[in-house]
Amino acid sequence: MTARTKELTEAGLAPGRVAALTSRVFATTGGSVPAVSPLTGETLAQVPVSSVEDVAAAFARARKAQAEWVRVPLRERADLLLRLHDLVLERQRDILDVIQWESGKARRHAFEELCDVAVNARYYAQVAQQHLLPTRRAGLFPLLTRTTEVRHPKGVVGVIAPWNYPFTMAISDALPALLAGNAVVTKPSTQTALSGLLGAELLADAGLPADVWQVVVGEGRKVGTALIDEADFVCFTGSTETGRMVAARCGERLIGCTLELGGKNPMVILDDADLDVAAEGAVRGCFSNAGQLCISIERLYVAAPVHDQFLERFLARVGAMRVGTSFDYGADMGSLVSRQQLETVAAHVDDAVRKGARLLAGGSARPDLGPCYFEPTVLSGVTPDMDCHAAETFGPLVSVYRVADEDEAVALANDSRFGLNASVYGRDVRRASRVAQRLRAGTVNINEAYAAAWGSIDSPMGGVGDSGLGRRHGADGLLKYTEPQTIAVQRVPVAPPRGLSYGTFARGLTTALKAMRKVGHK
């Protein structure tokens, strides 16, 4: 047994463990794709690949199971989510090990995934009855019309999950779909399928009936397209380019979808900011998960009076970051997910430096640590002709800009086709809030980089512009998986009684409408 094989076994990825996970893929063709760890470049597993026919069969099973699942009382479905909450916290060592080996991220960033699943499970279990039980609505006429809104599940929801947060993105978005009575077919990224399969295992252990949750694996253009063609609703997280194709295909079928896409997220540091707090927040905002986070910060706009002092503090913290492999919480930043992602980051840095940008920190790959490591990197002097100026890097790279005042900061922050997340730092919270409201972004954090808005699960989260459409979290994140139905019971017909002319009826109805306006009837 090699040292690496021994380490894999101790981390919970022994052959038997891997086989238990990969057996959950709905695949019959016998083909497979290697799951390669970015930490070592070694193959962790051969993951079965699904065919188009497999996708159709998975949906057929899911539809049959959904017909039974929707009959399960809402309280019991909510209890299942609470059991999942407990299992995720109890089994966190196994979960964190799988996520790290497969994605290369630092353990602290794997822990964010675990917490996100637990928080979503708890929240939606607690608000289920508030949003899903039949609700009385104001009727056409007081006392004469009884109107009820009923929520029905869409049917079978398709979830296409990305590789950057492979555990939470494969599970969290689909939990409210399950709660609403839907079945789910999820397609995790082929790069990080084990984490999604681990989620399926946990749901089964929490008591989810067989076939309600199916997992298919394969190339997006083939298996992902087949999933869209079968689903009743699609939840997609990924690139803007692919998101456009998903939206177009859903449009052809007249089914709904939500899309969380790219971001080029700004942080604004006002002249009254606590610079130590801002510098610490900027490090987390820029380099969490090695920058492979849709809501991470890639642009820093710093007020001129505090620019130099902030930069000194920020660079000191960047220089002190611990980058490397660690199955404890010792590392501040882990690996990129693949050589391809490393090449993208390196290309953006090289292009900027070649065109005149100044390298303030980092700038190099770290093959001494592993095949996909890249240093946390800070640039100044980035101009519009550089690739990293407007395009999303999705790596540990941030550009710093000096701005004259908050007006210039807002103008530059909004000068982007994206609008996902933003951050404002300032001691005067009222002032910072006014600046936040001027930013074109779906979420804005004040004196925090991303965790405050992301973690406020009772409030909707999503982007504008090229950052997508639709929302996760809050009521929106649950009701999008339902079809609303209005049932109105009328005690007296809305028509002239026998023998009454329509003109007389119209005059009487006019009087009634004026009276309802006067008393404030909805």
Catalytic site residues? 260, 294
Q: Residue 407: which of 382, 383, 431 has the closest Cα?
A: 431
Burial class (CB in 10 A: 0-12, 13-18, 19+), 32: middle
**CA–CA dist 116, 289 (Å, integer):** 14
**CA–CA dist 147, 267 (Å, integer):** 47
DSSP letter string over 293-352?
-TT-EEEEEEEGGGHHHHHHHHHHHHHT--BS--SSS--SB---S-HHHHHHHHHHHHHH
Q: Residue 131: which of 453, 480, 486, 489 has the closest Cα?
A: 480
CA dist 227 → 15, 25, 60, 241, 246 (Å): 29, 14, 12, 18, 10
43's tokens: 């193959």
Burial class (CB in 10 A: 0-12, 13-18, 19+), 518: exposed
C-alpha radius of gyration, the chain, whole number: 26
CA torsion angle 123 126 131 137 (round to 10): -140
The most distant pair of C-alpha atoms in the chain lies apart, rounded to whole Å, by 95
**CA–CA dist 453, 474 (Å, integer):** 12
**Residue burial 69-80, b: 16+ Cβ < 10 Å; e: rest:** bbeeeeeebbbb
Q: Tokens 């909450």 correspond to what residue?
A: 85
Q: Tokens 């038997």 correspond to what residue?
A: 16
- Is the CA virtual torsion 396, 116, 135, 516 positive or negative? negative
389's tokens: 């100026």
DSSP letter string over 146-168?
EEEEEEEE-SEEEEE--SSSTTH
370's tokens: 């592993």
Q: Tokens 């896409």 correspond to what residue?
A: 261
SS (H, E, C) 69-114: HCCCCHHHHHHHHHHHHHHHHHCHHHHHHHHHHHHCCCHHHHHHHH
Q: Residue 327: which of 114, 105, 117 has the closest Cα?
A: 105
CA torsion angle 197 198 201 207 (round to 10): -120
